[in-house]
Structure 1
Amino acid sequence: MRNIKLIMEYDGTSYSGFQSQENALGIQGVLEKAIESVTGEKIKLIGSGRTDKGVHALAQVANFFTESSIPAERFVYAINSNLPDDIKIKHSEEVDANFHSRFSARKKRYRYIVYNGKIERPLYRNFSYHISKKLDVEEIRKSLPYFIGTHDFKSFMGPKTKFKDTIRTIYSIELEQNGEFLEFIIEGNNFLRHMVRIIVGTLIFVGIGKIKKEDLQDIINGKDRSLAGITAHPEGLFLEKVYYD
């Protein structure tokens, strides 16, 4: 059996998330069907992690096992010919049999885009979170260091989280501003359900004065979801990169 690694990009607007679900359309199921059309085999696609409904990916990673003799680099073209316009494979290669897109991952980078303008931009409505109230960007910047390091992020965990261990490490968190667009770039070893969106939602609360940056340490230490800010909308979130050794 050959182990094929895929790197893909997708617009998550029309999907229930990456993971296959019985009563909803998941990106994983669409990909498995496309791969099966190419190989003639029943395929189980292994993703680097789940992305929620409406969340996008610039470089999601997945792998599958096959007995197909198709050259590894040709899978990208063969699979894409069976995919809709909002899901495409960017790269395909054969990897070691021990490679696992989820368990072999060392860290991930997410990008979250906020549009901070008075009037919503129709062309960006599916790819950014619109906040019409003016944000204090400098106050948000001063808040970023509180999240860096190894912490118990239970206060930033969404419902229905299956992880018992809520300790995670954030290696870096940056804020880039381009006019009315704010982009949060977060790298960590792993993330809890909704963790990035709740961190961004909390920073938005700092930016509008609902939370003081001096209270962030107490929010982290409190391990209580009710202490943190909102869960920012999914459309602003992009899985940007998955790192491997």
Structure 2
Amino acid sequence: MNWKLTLAYDGTDFHGWQVQPDRPTVQGALADAIERVTGERVLPQGSGRTDAGVHALGQVASFRLNAPIPPANLHRALNRTLPPAIRVMGAEHAAEDFHARHSVSAKTYEYRIFRGEICSPWLARYVYALNWPLHVERMLAAVPLVVGEHDFTSFAATDPDLTTRQAEAADSGDDSDDGPETDGPGNVRRIFASELSLRETDEGELLVYRVRGSGFLHHMVRNLVGTFLDVGRGHFAAEDIPVILEKRSRAEAGATAPARGLFLDSVEY
């Protein structure tokens, strides 16, 4: 039977999604929990590989089991077995051809920036605490300029170890290759929506960036955020964004924003 799980997790203490030797990962913890519950060793495939420190509100995983266990029972049993930082939000049987990554039609990521004077310790693990002066109006003008189909090489991580990581992924059975998302030719991706908003919380004001797209390159969302922040600081103008895209060079864009502010919000099929 093919299974689909929807997961939420605090990525702070994990070395990302993909299983790694001698390091805690979300995929590894989930595989261990499934084995303890069912006696079967499987490697659940995620909708994408979140990096170390990145969180998820709606990660999706798929795998096959021989055990004839009802979905409600598997749901309860996994949550009793998994570490508290990982929760199964839903468990269901899936169509035979469903695959958590290959079947994706769109994903939404959210990045949270705290704008207060003092960031509460209860919030610090989940935001980029940043009290630099920012020209938010300029950022609002820049953010929509990435909507559409573009080559996002300027916003992709420079990865000299890609060949090694691909080999390790193949050995582990993880069929993803270049970062969190890999669908689409080369570094071309389609962004459906790119929005920036202010959100009030009990702890203070959050500047929230949300982006929905067909797929995302390694560090792409964090590099977009870092570049938009540079627009807010006056290092770039909003109209520089199309130029940065056209240059197709990582050196042209801004710094990579920290992982702790990033959430995989949802996955569409």
- The answer to whether TM tops 0.5 is yes
User: Aligned partners of 1:90, 1:29: CA distance in 2, in Å?
Assistant: 18
Q: Whole-Å Cα distance in 1 between the matches of residues 137 and 120 of structure 2?
A: 24
Q: State the shift of 1:136 in Å.
A: 1.2
Residue 227 of structure 2 corresponds to residue 202 of structure 1: yes
The corresponding residue for 1:192 is 217
More displaced, 119-128 or 11-20?
119-128
Question: What residue ranges of structure 1 are gaps of 5+ in the alignment?
Answer: none
SS in 1 for 2:12: helix
Please state which structure has a larger fraction of its residues in strand: 1
Query: Is the partner of 2:81 in helix, strand or coil?
Result: coil
Matches within 5 A, 1:81-100: 81-100=80-99
Q: Let me know the Cα RMSD of the aligned residues.
A: 1.2
Deviation per residue, 1:79-138 (Å, 9 max, x gap): 111111110101000011110000001010001000122333322111000111121111
Deviations 1:211-241 (A, max 9, x none): 1112111101000101101100000000000
1:166 matches 2:187: yes
Counterpart in the other structure of 1:56: 55
Q: Give the structure 2 partner of residue 46 of structure 1.
A: 45
Alignment of 1:89-238 (within 5 A): 89-160=88-159, 162=178, 165-179=186-200, 180-238=205-263
In structure 1, how many angstroms separate the alpha carbons of the residues matched to 2:142 and 2:116? 22
Per-residue Cα deviation, 1:28-70 (whole angstroms, up to 9, x for no partner):
0000000001111111211111000000000100011001111
Which amino acid in structure 1 is aligned with residue 210 of structure 2?
A: I
Per the TM alignment, residue 146 of structure 1 is displaced from its structure 2 partner at its CA by: 1.0
Letter in 2 for 1:80: N
**Paired position in structure 1 for 2:69:** 70
User: Per-residue deviation at 1:24?
Assistant: 1.6
Give the corresponding residue for 2:168: none
- Consecutive unaligned residues in structure 2, runs of 5 or more: 163-177
Q: How far did 1:23 drift?
A: 3.3
Q: Is the Cα contact below 8 Å between 1:117 and 1:134 reproduced in 2?
A: no
Question: Partner residue of 1:29?
Answer: 28
Q: 2:12 and 2:65 mapped to 1: Cα distance? A: 30
Q: Report the number of matched residues.
A: 243
Whole-Å separation in 2 of the counterparts to 1:33 and 1:159: 32
